[in-house]
Amino acid sequence: MSINLYIVRHGETYINKYNRIQGWTNAPLTEKGIQDGQAAGDRLQHVIFDRAYSSDLERAVTTAQMVLEQNNHTDASLLQSLPELREQFFGYFDGISNSIAAQAITKQHGLPTTTTFAQLTRQLGPFEIINAIHEADPTGDAETAAIFWQRLMSGFKQIAAENPENANVLLVSHGRLLSTLGQHFAQLDGDHAEPDNGAVSLWQLTGDHLTLRVFNDLETIW
């Protein structure tokens, strides 16, 4: 059984704007972030969604509500917020400058010095980078790859169980989460796996497997 999963990255937040890591920390959408959500809703307004989901974090819920408000066919009351679909938890590094966090992680693991997560992603695989963040976290609070993946897959299994064959499903979620999906299931390289705020990606969900159809689309009227 396959489901058509339209995954939108939430609109830009102030933490995104300031180039800081954002995991479970909430922050409001910027003016651009509001425009991101409205633009995604405009492009998806003709899709008949059977169900709609978001992470339970504020930025994802707000973006999902904006998308559904513009949809011609889907009642916004269908939205379900699932904690399983949250962004990766960065622990001590949540809210810290991307460059400071990247330097701390590379130093901890003896890697070539880098100041961006894009460069760090080129050096490590999608799960290795999650574990590297956990190992560099002085508090030990950051998620391991195993915990993150188990949580995420339980969310997708719930979506699969709740929807019929060929259902159209909206999901609003997060950048690092979507990057990990792209690298794992579609072998996207780190340079091309980070979606833009408000971008739409189309996946086919079959059980606990995802097949990528379209990634990081900011133009298509669906």
Catalytic residues: 10, 87
Does 9 count as an annotated binding residue? yes
Q: Does 34 carry a binding-site annotation?
A: no
Residue 72 labelled as part of a binding site: no
CB 6 within 8 A of CB 85: no
Alpha-carbon span 2 to 39, nearest angstrom: 27
16 known ligand binder: yes
Rounded to whole angstroms, the Cα distance separating 211 from 56 reads: 24
Q: Is 10 annotated as a binding residue?
A: yes
- Beta pairing class for 209-217 and 200-206: antiparallel
Residue 163's Cβ-side half-sphere holds a number of Cα atoms within 13 Å equal to 29
Q: Check the annotation: does 91 bind a ligand.
A: no
125 is in an annotated binding site: no
Q: What is the CA radius of gyration of the chain?
A: 17
Residue 188 CB neighbour total at 10 angstroms: 19
The answer on whether 122 is annotated among ligand-binding residues is no
Name the binding residues for substrate. Answer: 9-16, 59
Name the binding residues. Answer: 9-16, 59
